Amino acid sequence: MSVKPQPASALFAGPFALGTLSGPDRQPFPALITADEQVIDLQLALNEPGLTVRDLLGRWTDTLPRLRELATASGVERRPLAGFTVHAPVEPRQVFQSGANYRQHVIDLHVAHKAPGDERPEAERRAEAAEIMDRRAAQDLPYVFIGLPSAITGPYDDVVLPAWAEKPDWELELVAVIGRPAHQVPVEDALSYVAGYTIANDLTDRATVFRRDMPQIGTDWLRSKNAPGFTPLGPWIVPAESIADPGDLHLTLKLNGETMQDESTKDMIFDVARMVAYASQSAQLLPGDLVLTGSPAGNGMHWGRLLRDGDVMDGSITGLGAQRTRCVAQVTS
């Protein structure tokens, strides 16, 4: 059974957000959720059976004004949010993930994640991490890799910890959701390609980040990050126009009620615009795609406490709502 969301005095910033919901009488559908916790079924309101959130993002320039109208329109059927199940807000075609994008987090990971045979003192490895980070920032080269859409799950779904995952860890992240095709866009224009923002918890098995059989290969993101359900997403996509400054949002992750991550996006090395622009230099970003922007300090490796069966994670970001997921050990035969 999934862990249910906790009541919140404010679901999100702005008058409305997008989500994907289902109910006893409805298969998953794109929904407009208003600030007073009412739901408008967009398939019905727009008279488009089969419509998805990704479809709406694919025509975002035309969609956004219509959503503004629906949010305040009279005569539109509305139902209480409490009667629905909340799913991941969008099914992306591509997931772009960022590593080492918060200063303190980089230092902590560098110390905790030492390579086999590296017995240097902690102070030396911390100094090395700071030097690497400063060099990266000066060269304007974010670290971006590819994730799998199949790892995405809903914001209140249970997360199954694979039996092989020895050190499963949490990483709360701000996510930019793309609203129009972006290829080789300049930094100064990059935010115009972002339709909105949401939350992701980019779970990682620290034990399999680096290949032990052949260290020269380096990182193994397929193995360490892409188990089914390893990316709880949502609950909402909040339009970019409702977020005053994505570079000044607060991220908080609690484990069983205890605060583990508590940081501002001000600590990012590369901001959202630089992330989107950088990813677009090599790939074409498509409507509905996700750009995860990295996670701040306070992961399990920092605390010496990794995820285990029964743990409950509460993650929130200013103006984007909150997700709650419970960890469940994989049942093996």
The pLDDT tens digits of the residues spanning 133-176 come to 788 777 778 999 999 999 999 999 999 999 999 999 999 999 99
Return the pLDDT at 6.
44
Q: Are 233 and 177 in contact (CB under 8 A)?
A: no
Cα(239)–Cα(17) distance, integer angstroms: 6
Tens of pLDDT along 248-283?
999 999 999 999 999 999 999 999 999 999 999 999
Return the pLDDT at 303.
93
Cα(186)–Cα(278) distance, integer angstroms: 8
Q: Are 40 and 78 in contact (CB under 8 A)?
A: yes
Return the pLDDT at 105.
77
Return the pLDDT at 8.
40
pTM exceeds cut of 0.75:
yes
3-state secondary structure of 126: helix
Q: Are 161 and 168 in contact (CB under 8 A)?
A: yes
The domain limits of the chain are 16-87, 95-329
3-state secondary structure of 138: helix
Query: Which CATH number is associated with domain 95-329?
Result: 3.90.850.10
In DSSP notation, 231-254 reads EEB-S-BEEGGG-S-TTS-EEEEE
Q: In the chain, which stretches have pLDDT less than 50?
A: 1-3, 5-9
Amino acid at 225: K
Return the pLDDT at 1.
43
- Of the candidates 268, 289, 60, 269, the one whose C-alpha atom is nearest the C-alpha of residue 183 is 289
- Of the candidates 249, 275, 297, the one whose C-alpha atom is nearest the C-alpha of residue 177 is 275
Return the pLDDT at 318.
96
18 phi and psi, to 5 degrees?
Answer: -105, 145
Tokens at 311, concatenated = 């743990």
Tokens at 299, concatenated = 């992961």
Tokens at 202, concatenated = 């980019």
